[in-house]
Structure 1
């Protein structure tokens, strides 16, 4: 045991940092991915061998209700984590 380092506390800070530092951005990315429609369901062009014209509008399907609910849940968790972090910082961190 070291007199200067509390290894248990250091481990807790490391785990919390990894979870918050990687977990919150991952949830945000997952929420955005769930909101995006799948390209497999997109409206096909007139000729499958022909590329769409530049500037042509392509239809992107809406996400299914299950994907929309998952996206909303992910983004609510992210907003809650950001709000909690702001609250802790503004209140002085105690």
Structure 2
């Protein structure tokens, strides 16, 4: 019984660390990458921008938005009597 409790506690702790701290950290990295990509007055050193970092920033923002959208889909679908399935990689709604 204690082993099951410890396993469940570990899973909850891992999910909370990834979502609770990982998403804001990824967003902050995206903001930093956007500043490096812009260069000039956005940087303390004032050096020229690196356009590749803008692409990295937008990828970070896209990942954050996708995770938020999936989370909202799970919450909203359960209110309508559906569940979200990831059987085919893409989330699909299935009647409970």
What TM-score do you get using the length of structure 2 for normalisation?
Answer: 0.67
Higher strand share: 2
Counterpart Cα distance in 1 of 2:34 and 2:2: 49
In structure 2, the partner of 1:64 is: 50
In structure 2, the partner of 1:2 is: 2
Instruction: Select 1:73's aligned residue among 53, 59, 67.
Output: 59
Counterpart Cα distance in 2 of 1:9 and 1:2: 10
| Greater C-alpha radius of gyration | 1
Q: Deviations over 1:23-50 (max 9, x none)?
A: 00000111011111323126xxxxxxxx
Give the ranges of 4+ consecutive aligned residues of structure 1 lying more than 6 Å apart after TM superposition: none
Gaps of 5+ in 2: 36-41, 84-96
Q: Deviations over 1:33-74 (max 9, x none)?
A: 1111323126xxxxxxxxxxxxxxxxxx6x422110110111
Paired residues, what number? Answer: 74
Counterpart Cα distance in 2 of 1:32 and 1:16: 23
Higher-RCO chain (CA-CA 8 Å, sequence separation at least 6): 1
